[in-house]
Amino acid sequence: MSKLTNTELLQHTTVRLECQLANGSLSVGTGFYFAFQKNETSWNKLAILTNKHVVKDSINLKIYITPLDIEKNPNYTSNFHTTIMIKESDWIAHPDNNIDLCMLPFHKFHNDLVRKVGEFFIFAYNKEYLADNNILESLNAIETITMIGYPNGIWDIANNLPVIRQGITASHPKLNYNGRSEILIDCACFPGSSGSPVLVYNHGGYATKVGDFNVSNRLILLGILYAGPIYKADGQIIITPISSIPNITIETNLNMNLGYIIKSEKILDFEKLL
């Protein structure tokens, strides 16, 4: 049994995805583990989720793994990476072409990885953490959100840990922003953050919608980052995917520090595809 705290476990829900593309360039994004069965240690229905645009045109995938120590906790002194021959067609796209999500069934290569490198440490979300309608109705219009990932590829390479950022909801979570199953967040969103899980996480207590204070922890997987608005020098505001590869242009684009997240309920659409 792991001795890590909840916040320490959350650091191990994500995986850095380095995708080699057919044109020779590299796409870096964020994936996260999701178990479609309640038991997080059950591998037969475990998947990695990310955005379609992160793995587009990829021909192989490099991921970074944290081995276990003798007490089954993360061994931060010996993390390593491994390259897997996973290409774009191996990812299962969300059945709605307008939803920028895809899934990689983890069990297809987990056992081979264990045989190759030994057991390694991860922590997976499951369906209990999803923000269903009842949970969304219980949230305030303004909630503190936590996003975990690899903005601009930045990470703790020595310990194989992601970067944790915080912001607030910029639209009411219970509503579909602009009529889509999405929520707008106020948080710095950069290339590499694509696919990052966005959470409502409260440690020790939180204020309820009616003003009471609930003395307990709360963890809700609110959604997955995929895009954000860019303010162009000519005054235009455009919505663009949080690209995993910085574009080189001669124009000046300003990040508005807003992000679009796909509501986590859309993860359930993958279950029948496993």
Write out pLDDT tens, residues 97-148.
Answer: 999 999 999 877 888 888 887 889 999 999 999 999 999 999 999 999 999 9
Only one residue has tokens 């002194």, namely 77
> Which residues of the chain are modeled with pLDDT < 70?
1-2, 38-44, 79, 230-255
Nearest alpha-carbon partner for 230 in 214, 218, 241, 244: 241
pLDDT at 42: 55
Same fold? 6-126, 128-270: yes
pLDDT at 249: 37
Taking only Cα atoms into account, the Rg of the chain, rounded to an integer number of angstroms, comes to 18
Assess contact for 126 and 35: CB atoms under 8 A: yes
- DSSP H helices in 5-67: 6-10, 52-55
Nearest alpha-carbon partner for 198 in 133, 260, 126: 260
Q: Say which CATH topology domain 6-126 has.
A: Thrombin, subunit H (2.40.10)
| Sequence spans of domains, the chain | 6-126, 128-270
Q: Which CATH superfamily is domain 128-270 in?
A: Trypsin-like serine proteases (2.40.10.10)
